[in-house]
Amino acid sequence: MKVLVTGINGFVGKNLESYLQNSSLLLGGLLRTNRQVSYCDTQLHFFDTFDNADVENITCGYDCIIHLAALVHQPDQKDIEQYMRLNCDFTVKLARAAIANGVGKFIFLSTSHVYEGIDSVYHEQLELKPTSPYAQSKHQASLSLLRLFSGINSKLYIIRPPLIYGQGVKGNMKSLSKLINKTQLTPFLLARAKRSYICIDNLCSFILHLIDADVQPGIYNVSDNDDLSTSELSSLIAAANDKQLFQLPIPKNIMKLFFSIVRKQDQWEKIYSEFRLNINKAISTGWKPKPIDYRDFVL
C-alpha cells in the first residue's frame, strides 16, 4: 500500500514516518519547505504555498492519505481566516483531489479542542460549538469532509486526539517539563482533576490500525485511556528525568488569581479543570493503546 503523509516534517509527522518505516508501506511526504525528513526512501513532494500546491498530481497513485498539516493553536493568532485557509480550505482541496484519484482512505487529524465549552466526558456524538479560531477551523473542515465523503466508496477517518506528548514535543507539556527539570518544584499538588493525554506511539499505532484494518469510517476520539491529573503528570515527568519532585499544596483559588493577573486564564483551565475523552468507539475497532510508561515523558 502506498501512503501519503502531509506535514511529514512536523512533530507528529516525523514520528509517524519513523513508525511507518517498520511496516511494509510505501511512504510519501508532502511538505512546504526543503527540510529533509528522516528516511531517504520516503518520496517527498514540495510546494511553495497551499494555494498553488498541485494536489491533483501529488495524490495520484496513493491508496491512503494521512492529513496532518495544519496551523496549530497559537495564543496570539486571532485571525480565523488564517486558520480557515489551511485547516479547512486546503483540507477540502486535498480531499477532493484524493476522491478524484480514487484514494481508498483519507485520515484527517483533527483535535479534541472542538469540545470547547462542553461540561461532560467527551464522546463523538456531542453537538459542537467550538469557540477558538483553531477549533472552529478544524470543526468546519470535519463537517465539509463528512459531506464530501458521504455515499462514496472512499473511507474518511477523523481523529480527535487530546494533548500529545513524546520526545521532541513543544508547547505546554514541554514548558512543564522544563519547569520540573530546572526547579524540581511545582505548585500543582492540588491539581487533581483528570485529563486525557496520548503518547505519540499510541497515536501512531491508531493511525496504522486505520490503514491496515477494515475499520468503519467515522470520527474517533483517541487517548492513552488512562487519564492523569496535572499532579500525576508532573510526577511522571520527574520520574522520567530521574528528578526528585516537590509539589506544593497551593490552593486552587490562589492559583486562579495568579493566572488571572498574568492574563493566562486558559492555562489555569488546562491545569485544574477536567478534560476527559471517551474512547470506547476506537477500542471497539480492535485497537488497544499501550499502557502509560513513564519513560515516554522524557520530552
Domain harbouring 51, CATH code: 3.40.50.720
Report if residue 166 sits inside a domain: no
Report if residue 214 sits inside a domain: no
Q: Are residues 152 and 86 in the same domain?
A: yes
The residue ranges of DSSP E strands in the chain, in sequence order, are: 2-6, 26-31, 43-46, 64-67, 105-109, 155-160, 163-165, 185-186, 197-199, 218-221, 246-247
| CA–CA separation, 161 and 142 (whole Å) | 14
| CA–CA separation, 235 and 297 (whole Å) | 10
For the segment 185-191, the average pLDDT, to the nearest whole number, is: 96
Helix axes 265-272, 252-261, angle to 10 degrees: 150
For the segment 24-52, the average pLDDT, to the nearest whole number, is: 78
Domain count, the chain: 2
Q: Are residues 108 and 243 in the same domain?
A: no
**What percent of the chain stands above pLDDT 70?**
95
Report if residue 71 sits inside a domain: yes
Q: Are residues 10 and 120 in the same domain?
A: yes
Q: Are residues 124 and 178 in the same domain?
A: no
Report if residue 28 sits inside a domain: yes
Q: Are residues 83 and 9 in the same domain?
A: yes
Domain range for 181 is 172-194+228-272
Report if residue 209 sits inside a domain: no
**CA atoms in the 13 A half-sphere facing the CB of 255:** 19
Q: Are residues 121 and 183 in the same domain?
A: no
Query: Is a pLDDT exceeding 70 seen at residue 298?
Result: yes
Report if residue 8 sits inside a domain: yes
pLDDT band, residue 114 (cuts 50/70/90): very high
Q: Are residues 16 and 91 in the same domain?
A: yes
* Whole-number pLDDT of residue 202: 98
Query: Is a pLDDT exceeding 90 seen at residue 226?
Result: yes
pLDDT band, residue 35 (cuts 50/70/90): low
Q: Are residues 190 and 151 in the same domain?
A: no
Q: Cell triple for residue 279?
A: 474512547
Query: Is a pLDDT exceeding 90 seen at residue 69?
Result: yes
Q: What is the pLDDT of residues 249-280, one digit of tens each?
A: 999 999 999 999 998 888 999 999 999 999 99
Report if residue 205 sits inside a domain: no
Query: Is a pLDDT exceeding 90 seen at residue 75?
Result: no
Dihedral of alpha carbons 213, 214, 219, 223, sign? negative
* Whole-number pLDDT of residue 189: 97
For the segment 291-297, the average pLDDT, to the nearest whole number, is: 96
* Whole-number pLDDT of residue 76: 63
For the segment 49-78, the average pLDDT, to the nearest whole number, is: 86
Mean pLDDT of the chain: 93
Pairing of strands 185-186, 246-247: parallel
Query: Is a pLDDT exceeding 80 seen at residue 38?
Result: no
